[in-house]
Amino acid sequence: MEIVETWTGRAACLLQQAMRLTNEAFAEHLGVSERTVSRWHSAPGMVHRTEVQQILDTAYEQAGETVQRRFALLLRPPAPRVEAQALRVAIAVVLRGTDVLLVCRRGDGELRWQFPAGMVKPGADPSTVAVQETHGETGVHCTVREQLGERVHPVTGVVASYYLADHLAGEATNRDPLENVDVTWVPRTALTRFIPADQIFPPILSALEATV
Same domain, yes or no: 207 and 144: yes
Q: How far out from the chain centre does Cα 154 lie?
A: 15
The mean pLDDT of 127-144, rounded to a whole number, is 95
Answer whether residue 126 is part of any domain. yes
Instruction: Give me the CATH number covering residue 133.
Output: 3.90.79.10
The continuous run of DSSP H or E covering 211 comes out as helix 202-211
Q: Domain range for residue 179?
A: 84-211
Note the pLDDT of residue 86. 56
The continuous run of DSSP H or E covering 88 comes out as strand 88-96
Same domain, yes or no: 61 and 98: no
Note the pLDDT of residue 168. 96
| Model confidence, pTM | 0.62
- Per residue in 152-169, pLDDT (tens digit) is 887 778 899 999 999 999
Same domain, yes or no: 36 and 133: no
Q: For residue 208, how many other CB atoms are within 10 A of its CB?
A: 18
> In this model, does residue 210 exceed pLDDT 90?
no
Total structural domains within the chain = 2
Note the pLDDT of residue 154. 78
Instruction: Give SS3 for 114.
Output: strand
Residue type (1 letter), 118: G
Same domain, yes or no: 56 and 104: no
d(CA 36, CA 76): 24
- Per residue in 43-59, pLDDT (tens digit) is 888 888 899 999 999 99
Same domain, yes or no: 198 and 113: yes
Q: What residues have CB less than 8 Å from 157, skipping those under 6 apart?
A: 84
Answer whether residue 1 is part of any domain. no
